Amino acid sequence: MEFKQLTYCGPHDETAKVKAYPWPFIPTGKLYNISVTFTPAVDVLAATYEYELITVKDGQTVGRGRDDACPGSPELCSLPAGETFVWTYSDVMRAFPPGVQMTFRGIAKLYNEADILVLCLEVVATIH
């Protein structure tokens, strides 16, 4: 997978930073790391994440979902408003089915228990 763009798209936050390594290309079977720094404007006592993947070529939605973030990332479910937080994630890049080649735009959003948007990330990437 090759990253074309990885940006913060959430509420105004001067601390917001997002980094991915390696950049821009992540080979299949290799470890990658993502780091997101942000300061929530509201308390987060419970969190829900939402994502959508859309092909750039024709605008078709290829994936969408919404789920509880706390079981997989409990550190996201006890964030006090106004305190800068660094969230990190590491995994191994999985192989895509043979012949799958596309450029997609993905949006991931994090909401608190009152359904207030806390964090939004956008990625544009190409699967080779």
pLDDT digits (tens, 9 = 90+) for 17-32: 999 999 999 999 999 9
How far is residue 101 from each of residues 6, 56, 125, 128, measured CA to CA in Å?
19, 12, 11, 5
90 vs 79: CA distance, rounded Å: 21
- For residues 104 and 124, the answer to whether their CB atoms sit within 8 Å is yes
The per-residue pLDDT for range 57-74, each reduced to its tens digit, is: 999 999 999 999 999 999
Which CA distances in Å does 110 have to 4, 76, 94, 99, 124? 22, 9, 24, 32, 18
Report field, pTM of the whole predicted structure over 0.85: yes
Domain extents in the chain: 2-127
CA-nearest of 44, 53, 15, 32 to 114 is: 44
Which CATH code is given to the segment(s) 2-127? 2.60.40.770
Q: How confident is the model at residue 79 (pLDDT cuts 50, 70, 90)?
A: very high
